[in-house]
Structure 1
Amino acid sequence: MARPPPDPLYTLRGLGAAVNTLHFSCSEPARPLLFSGSSNGAVHIWDLTTRRSQKVLKGHADSSILWLDSLSRENLISQGRDMRVCLWSLAEGRADVTDSLFADSVGFCQCSLMQGGQGTWLLAHPTDCMEEVKVIELPTKAPLGSLKPESKLGMVMCMKLLQTNSGPMLVAGYEDGTLVLWDVSQRRPLSSLKAHLEPVMSLDFDPSRLKGVSGSAEQTICSWTLDGQQVLQLQEQVELVNPGISQLCLRPDGKILASAGWDHLIRVFGWKKMKPLAVLQYHRDMVLSVTFSDHQDPKQRMMAAASKDERISLWSIYN
């Protein structure tokens, strides 16, 4: 007889606003941290040992935080609805914005960050032209290209940078349900796939399997592959009971996929065959973000989910 789904290990509260985005930092030997971005413009730094907010960062003029990532343990990057992307220094207890750029985007598309060469990163961000993505190199901000479809696909909704043997690529999901694979260096589309009937709300990609996954405003999660000719091909479709996926996230070991649902539920799937494993019910409103820690010790790995109900839940599943 199957065991019932687990309860959260613990929850984090007191944020005072909907929590839009989460990001773990678990580099050894320092304490594991969780960053959260809220709709009131606050970025909380949570110490997961004490389970308390260590610090609150304010750098987006009370505008909603859309996305968080880190260049290193001491360098955070945030994207807000004030159309700014901010770089933060957290070294030696500081919390200073050291640099920023204007993305000029009024949409909800999150940026994507990927390490490039030694000490450099690639940042893809939306622009004031809702269909366009710009890619720059950090920390120099040197432009690497502008990616804009020739056909009318609507605004870009989500994206992810990929490092391949052929160089940097980007997969973008658009308002009409289409996925497009871009060659960043050549600034041209390589292939496209009409994966959904509704806007693509989230996607993730597994470089080891050359396999990705996307969710939309409909009741379907789609997996797709990238073949040797850089062509996107639809693989499997999983039908859900209720529509709406806020975010999809693959665990770093490539075994587990989690989804954040508009129906207040977190769903967990086996990544290899998209087998449903668990439905986690805790939140009282839309789940807006889900992410996995990158802790080196598998026993210490956690999943975190954030909701419009102003709570963050922490889970230990399938370790």
Structure 2
Amino acid sequence: MSRPAPSPIYTLRGAGAPLNTLHFSCHGGDPPLLFSGSGKGAIHMWNLNTRRAEKVVEGHSGNSVVWVNTLRGTDTLISQGRDMRVCLWDLSEGRSALLDSVWTGSVGFCQCSLLETSTGTHLLAFAGQEIEEIKIIELPSKTPVCILVPDAKLGMVMCIKLWQPDSGPGPLLLAGYEDGSLLLWDVTQRAQLSQAKANPEPVMCLTFDTESLRGVSGSSEKNLSSWRLDGQNNLQLQDSVTLVNPGVSQLSVRGDGKLLASAGWDHRVRIFGWKKLRPLAVLQYHTDLVLSVAFSDHQDPQQRLLAAGSKDQRISLWSIYNEGADTG
């Protein structure tokens, strides 16, 4: 590797279970926060100034929490558990009150995807009760928008990403399936736009940069598959990246589009330059599978952090700010 690997600047302990999902909220005048979802149904709200859990929400009857997010500009937390529910929580004024919940019917590990369509209104996409279906609803009304089911048998929905393109009509959705396929959906038209066989094994995770229209997907294999969308919304496969060891749990692109982080089954976090997927660093700290990675959304780039959550019940935080460095 081109640089010596750093050490974590600090770690967060006390979750008491594997850390399946992480989400930062570091903007505005409030203290910077990191939300984590655990394998025992707990959502921890970590204050990054004090490095302690400010609040713990027990929300899914002890079932694993697989995804957490916040509704921007509000004190609303949203969480998804393997109790087949998505829950919305009011965190204002020290509360942790359940506002509403959505029954998904899905027993899989596919994480929801959230898209703000206007102030106070969001689309929520999630795997449905039937093995291949994706349901999209509007929040907070819970109004059904559509159900997306592929024409061919592709197996279980594994991962999804909802976004609004800069040009053209309504939202698009990328989905990875059990047979290794990627599908691009037009949500407004309920139509498949393109399809590509990205991975030989089930697509365990994907990340997509809406600025460059490039994405990467990972599986139980030793390869990361790179792909892009052309001007006609066709999925085009690009070069793959070979990893040292097989298995990727999660992928995340930093907000400035310079770095990609992968959560490895080999207990390591790997950092790549996003432009050319060049390996930059291997972060070694955890003693079990790394299950989740997330970049912080600090407004000051020099404060930005990378968090990694592991099956070893710890969260490591890393400072890898390197603007101006060659991150290609």
> Any idea what the Cα deviations from partners look like across 1:213-241, whole Å, max 9, x if unmatched?
11111111011110111100011210011
How far apart, in 1, do the equivalents of 2:177 and 2:3 lie? 39
AA in 1 matched with 2:12: L
| Residue in 2 that maps onto 1:142 | 143
> Any idea what the Cα deviations from partners look like across 1:96-149, whole Å, max 9, x if unmatched?
110001000001111000111222101001111021000111111111110011
Counterpart of 1:77 in 2: which secondary structure?
strand
1:298 to partner: Cα distance: 0.6
1:3 and 1:256, CA in 2 relative to 1: closer, same or farther beyond 3 A? closer
| Residue in 2 that maps onto 1:151 | 152
How far apart, in 1, do the equivalents of 2:248 and 2:278 lie? 17
Query: Is residue 202 of structure 2 the alignment partner of residue 186 of structure 1?
Result: no
AA in 2 matched with 1:299: Q
AA in 1 matched with 2:34: L
| Residue in 1 that maps onto 2:7 | 7
Counterpart of 1:246 in 2: which secondary structure?
strand
| Residue in 1 that maps onto 2:54 | 54
How far apart, in 2, do the equivalents of 1:199 and 1:216 lie? 6
Query: Is residue 237 of structure 2 the alignment partner of residue 234 of structure 1?
Result: yes
| Residue in 2 that maps onto 1:86 | 87
Counterpart of 2:164 in 1: which secondary structure?
strand
How far apart, in 2, do the equivalents of 1:31 and 1:185 lie? 38
> Any idea what the Cα deviations from partners look like across 1:34-53, whole Å, max 9, x if unmatched?
00000000000000000000
Counterpart of 1:304 in 2: which secondary structure?
strand
Counterpart of 1:92 in 2: which secondary structure?
helix
TM-score by length of structure 2 reads 0.96
How far apart, in 2, do the equivalents of 1:257 and 1:194 lie? 22
Please show how residues 1-319 of structure 1 align to structure 2 within 5 Å.
2-72=2-72, 73-164=74-165, 165-166=167-168, 167-319=170-322
1:318 to partner: Cα distance: 3.2
AA in 2 matched with 1:36: S
Does 68-77 or 40-49 show the bigger shift? 68-77
1:296 to partner: Cα distance: 0.3
AA in 2 matched with 1:16: G
Unaligned residue ranges in structure 1 (runs of 5+): none
AA in 1 matched with 2:113: S
CA contact (8 A) 2:161 2:174 kept: yes
1:2 to partner: Cα distance: 4.8
AA in 1 matched with 2:66: L
Counterpart of 1:200 in 2: which secondary structure?
coil
CA contact (8 A) 2:204 2:217 kept: yes
How far apart, in 2, do the equivalents of 1:272 and 1:48 lie? 30
Counterpart of 2:176 in 1: which secondary structure?
strand
Which segments of structure 1 move beyond 3 Å, counting only runs of 4 or more? none
Q: How many residues align?
A: 319
1:3 to partner: Cα distance: 4.0
Unaligned residue ranges in structure 2 (runs of 5+): 323-328
> Any idea what the Cα deviations from partners look like across 1:2-53, whole Å, max 9, x if unmatched?
5410000000011111111000001122110000000000000000000000
Counterpart of 1:116 in 2: which secondary structure?
strand
CA contact (8 A) 2:305 2:321 kept: no
How far apart, in 1, do the equivalents of 2:227 and 2:175 lie? 13
AA in 1 matched with 2:235: L
> Any idea what the Cα deviations from partners look like across 1:226-270, whole Å, max 9, x if unmatched?
011110001121001111110000000100000000110100000
> Any idea what the Cα deviations from partners look like across 1:268-317, whole Å, max 9, x if unmatched?
00000111000111000000000000110011100000000000000001
1:80 to partner: Cα distance: 0.2
RMSD of the TM alignment (CA)? 1.0
The alignment-based identity, stated in percent, is: 63
How far apart, in 2, do the equivalents of 1:259 and 1:247 lie? 6
AA in 2 matched with 1:234: L
Counterpart of 1:109 in 2: which secondary structure?
coil
AA in 1 matched with 2:68: L
How far apart, in 2, do the equivalents of 1:36 and 1:15 lie? 8
